[in-house]
Amino acid sequence: MALGLNKIIISGTTSNTPGAYWQLTTLSANNTTVLVPAGTYLVFPTANVTIEAVSAYNASNSTATWSTLLANNTGGVLISDGTNVRANVTVATNTTITLATVDGGQAVTGTYNS
Residue 112 lies in a domain: no
Residue 4 lies in a domain: no
Number of folded domains that form the chain = 1
In tens, the pLDDT along 12-55 reads 666 666 666 778 899 999 999 999 999 999 999 999 999 999 99
pLDDT at 113: 60
> Percent of the chain scored above 90 by pLDDT?
63
**pTM for the full model?**
0.76
Amino acid at 37: P
Q: Output 79 or 7, whichever has higher pLDDT.
A: 79
Residue 17 lies in a domain: no
Strands 22-29 and 33-35: unpaired
User: Residue 58 maps to which CATH number?
Assistant: 2.60.120
Cβ–Cβ under 8 Å, residues 50 and 86: no
Residue 79 lies in a domain: yes
Cβ–Cβ under 8 Å, residues 61 and 3: no
Residue 7 lies in a domain: no
* Range of the structural domain that residue 61 is part of: 22-102
pLDDT at 5: 57
Q: Output 99 or 111, whichever has higher pLDDT.
A: 99
Residue 14 lies in a domain: no
Residue 76 lies in a domain: yes
List the beta bridge partners of residue 23: 101
